[in-house]
Structure 1
C-alpha cells in the first residue's frame, strides 16, 4: 500500500481536509450541536477538550490521519473522520473517529465521506482491506456500517475504555478490496436516492 499522506478530497458539496488547529472553533460548534460529548458510546470531545483532541490526532501521524468535514457551500465544519490504525506493510487501514453535528446526521454527508475515503483507500493508496469499528452498544453506528456493505468480523471483548470509565466491547467490520466494486456501486446508489448524481 502507498504511504498515507495528507490529502484533500471533495464530492457532492462535502470537502475532507486534514484536521488542523485552525478547525478548533468549527469543531467546538459541531460538537455543541446536539451536545454530542454527552453520548456514552462515542468519543466526541467536550468544548474544552477540542484543542487537545486535535493535537492528539495530529500527533498520531503516520498511523492516523484526521480530516475536518466541511460543507463547501457555507464553509461550516460538519464534523470529523479519520483513517486510523494504518498498517501500510499489509495494506490495512481503518476509518473511524467519525462524528457529525446533529443537524448533519442522517443526511448524505456520512455516505459521501465513506465513498471519498474508501475510493481513496482502495483506488489511490492500494489498500487490501478497510476496517471499521464501533462500541457494542452503539447500535445506530453498527446499523450505519452495515448499510455501507461492510462485513462483520466479530467482537473484541473488553477492548477499550469509554469516557465514563466503563470498558466496552468493540464490534469490528471490514471491506476487502475484492468487495469494493460492489460496495462502491451501492454507495453511489444510496447517494442517488438523496438526489446526488
Structure 2
C-alpha cells in the first residue's frame, strides 16, 4: 500500500486544560520559568536549556528542518508548562516523531504529558493520516522510557553511540513507535488513564 504523504504545519491543539500552540520567541520567558521549576537543565539526560540559553534554544527549535515545535500552555492561566515537538518528519512515508519534550517539575507525573501525547497522536493519526509515530530517548533516561511504554508504544531497538549529550558524552538512543493499526486501542487506553487520574 502506498503511504499517504502528510503535510505537518503549525497548529493549535487543546484538550483537558492543556493547550499546544506554535512555539515563538514570545514563549522564551515562560520556558525559562518552566525550566527553573526544578532546575531541569541540571538533568544529564535531557536537553532542557540553561536560563541564559533559552532564547537560542527556541531559535534552534524554529530553524531546525522537519520540526514543528509547540509551547505547552495551561489553558486557564496561560502559564507555559514546557515544550514538545513533531520532528524528523518524513512526509513522503507518513512518519513523524514526537520528542524534544520537557515539562516544569511541578506538572510532571500529572495529566499534562498524557494529555499532550493524546493531542499529538490524535492529530498525527486522525487528522494528518500518518502511518507511524516514533519516539526516541536517551538510554539512561529510564523515566522517559517508562512514560513512552505507558503510552503503548513498542520498542524498536537501540541505536548505539548515536547522539552527543551536553556534557560531551555520547548516548545510545532507544527507539519506539506506534503504527496506525495500534492507534485505536492506544487512544482508548490513554483516555482510560486520564479518567483514572481525574478520580
Q: Which TM-score applies when normalising by structure 2?
A: 0.97
Is 2:157 the counterpart of 1:154? yes
CA distance in 1, matches of 2:154, 2:187: 14
Q: 1:54 aligns with which of 50, 54, 58?
A: 58
Deviations 1:78-114 (A, max 9, x none): 0000000000000001000000000000000000000
Is 2:86 the counterpart of 1:83? yes
Deviations 1:10-36 (A, max 9, x none): 000100000000000000000000000
Alignment of 1:1-197 (within 5 A): 1-61=5-65, 63-195=66-198
Q: Which TM-score applies when normalising by structure 1?
A: 0.98
Runs ≥4 residues deviating over 2 A? none
Deviations 1:42-66 (A, max 9, x none): 00001011101101111114x0000
What is the root-mean-square deviation of aligned Cα atoms in Å? 0.8
On the 8 A contact 2:163/2:171 being kept in 1, the answer is yes
Shift of 1:73: 1.0
CA distance in 2, matches of 1:4, 1:91: 10
On the 8 A contact 2:6/2:92 being kept in 1, the answer is no
CA distance in 1, matches of 2:129, 2:119: 14
CA distance in 2, matches of 1:104, 1:67: 17
* Structure 1 residues not aligned, in runs of 5+: none
Number of aligned residues? 195
CA distance in 2, matches of 1:128, 1:187: 19
CA distance in 2, matches of 1:4, 1:10: 17
* Structure 2 residues not aligned, in runs of 5+: none
